[in-house]
């Protein structure tokens, strides 16, 4: 089955979905994207599109920031995604990438007086940071500030900031970078939110520390509270707290829940997966497969032949 895209208001083979080289978004990063997991449950033979409405709500919020107007509602985009997934013929974990962009083929940096367009593609994505534990550095690049490019939007141009930090970390022998805000507080990873375990409670940076408001972050906060009775404190975090935390982990759609085992050449805790992290990993893995009736509001279940919810 050839890979498919939804592009220019129709479904087509991915190989036929092309943009012109004058496309405004290509030059200036004036686009916003999403990343949604279609988790394949091989026992039930169905996908669980996890919290897809939340992902499209966030995409439309990013579009508001960028003055991108789309002719689709959240429900329309969910339905298009389901159809694309069914057409794709995939029977394994799928990663869905919707992208809204300034599509006029013209030179000139701005947001106004331009056409907008939207596409969705589906691809494979193994766990982004592996499963063995992540070795991190604190980046010398600072997280973009809300007054520069708002991090609460998933804005393409802002990912240059992530790319600079990621490659710097990689070339220095680390798996991932942790970015600080301009005033030195912990913000997030290049494509993940970060949590610390301090005195048995979860601590995570607040929205005002230039993070993307992660859907996995929100899920983990709710699972920790509901299933483990653990509260999360959203507050600014100092760099040195990373070195002293009992446990640390990243959350994200691409990453799931990934234990951080080392930061700036210091082991986190005893350098192994912590107890709370392990419990959250297990809980999240089950919930993200669509197996927990309690969280059915988060699921859009898609079997290759038909839509169930
Ligand atoms: C910069 C950044 N932070 C955090 C996240 C995690 O967000 P989510 O859990 O919604 O995937 C992502 C992933 O999209 C990201 O790119």
Query: Ligand 1 centre from 264 Cα, in Å?
Result: 22
Q: Exposed e or buried b for every residue in 40-52, given b needs 16+ CB within 10 A?
A: bbeeeebbbbbbb
Of 216, 252, 256, 280, best ligand 1 pocket probe by most atoms within 8 Å of the beta carbon: 252
* pLDDT band at 306; cut points 50, 70, 90: very low
Most distant CA pair in the chain, distance: 56
Scored b (16 or more CB within 10 A) or e, 97-111 reads ebbbbbbbeeeeeee
Confidence of residue 2 (pLDDT cuts 50, 70, 90): low
Cα–ligand 1 centroid distance for 237 (angstroms): 18
The mean pLDDT of 179-183, rounded to a whole number, is 97
What is the model's pLDDT at position 4? 86
Cα-to-centroid distance, 171 and ligand 1 (Å):
22
Residue linked to tokens 């640390």? 248
Residues in the chain: 309
Q: Whole-angstrom Cα distance, residue 109 to residue 196?
A: 40
List the structure tokens of 134: 């992540």
pLDDT > 50? residue 96: yes
Please report, for residues 2, 56, 63, 131, 185, the alpha-carbon distance to residue 93 in angstroms, rounded to integers and kept in the order given.
16, 19, 27, 16, 35
Tell me the pLDDT tens digit for each residue of 140-167.
999 999 999 999 999 999 999 999 999 9
Ligand 1, atom 7, lies closest to the CA of: 214
What is the 107 CA–ligand 1 centroid distance (Å)? 30
* pLDDT beyond 70 at 309: no
Closest residue CA from atom 6 of ligand 1: 252
Pocket of ligand 1 (CB under 6 A): 35, 162, 188, 191-193, 212, 214-217, 251-253
pLDDT at 307: 45
Above 80 in pLDDT, residue 294? Answer: yes
Task: Specify the pLDDT at position 304.
Answer: 74
Q: Cβ of 138: how many Cβ atoms within 10 Å?
A: 19
The whole model's pTM is what? Answer: 0.96
Q: Which of 154, 222, 225, 294 is catalytic?
A: 154
How do residues 252-262 score in pLDDT, each as one tens digit? 999 999 999 99
Mean pLDDT of the chain: 95
3 state DSSP class of 282: helix
Of all atoms in ligand 1, which is nearest to the CA of residue 154? 16
Active site residue 154: yes
């Amino acid at each position: 089955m050839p890979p498919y895209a939804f592009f220019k208001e129709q479904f087509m083979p991915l190989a036929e979905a092309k943009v012109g080289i004058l496309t405004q978004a290509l030059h200036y990063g004036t686009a916003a994207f999403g990343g949604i997991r279609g988790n394949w449950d091989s026992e039930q033979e169905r996908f669980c599109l996890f919290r897809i409405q939340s992902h499209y709500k966030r995409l439309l919020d990013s579009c508001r920031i960028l003055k991108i107007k789309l002719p689709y509602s959240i429900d329309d985009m969910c339905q298009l995604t389901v159809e694309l997934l069914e057409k794709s013929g995939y029977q394994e974990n799928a990663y869905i990438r919707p992208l809204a962009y300034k599509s006029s083929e013209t030179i000139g940096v701005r947001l106004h007086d331009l056409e907008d367009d939207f596409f969705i593609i589906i691809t494979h994505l193994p766990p982004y940071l592996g499963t063995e534990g992540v070795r991190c550095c604190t980046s010398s690049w600072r997280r973009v500030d809300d007054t520069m490019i708002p991090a609460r939007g998933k804005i393409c141009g802002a990912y240059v900031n992530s790319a600079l930090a990621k490659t710097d970390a990689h070339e220095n022998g680390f798996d991932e970078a942790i970015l600080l805000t301009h005033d030195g507080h912990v913000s997030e990873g290049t494509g993940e939110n970060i949590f610390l375990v301090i005195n048995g409670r979860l601590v995570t940076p607040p929205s005002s520390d230039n993070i993307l408001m992660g859907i996995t972050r929100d899920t983990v906060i709710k699972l920790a509270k509901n299933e483990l009775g653990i509260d999360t404190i959203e507050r600014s975090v100092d760099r040195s707290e990373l070195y002293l935390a009992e446990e640390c982990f990243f959350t994200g759609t691409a990453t799931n829940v990934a234990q951080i085992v080392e930061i700036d050449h210091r082991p986190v805790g005893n350098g192994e997966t912590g107890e709370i992290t392990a419990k959250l990993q297990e809980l999240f893995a089950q919930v993200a497969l669509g197996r927990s009736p309690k969280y059915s509001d988060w699921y859009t279940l898609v079997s290759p032949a038909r839509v169930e919810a």
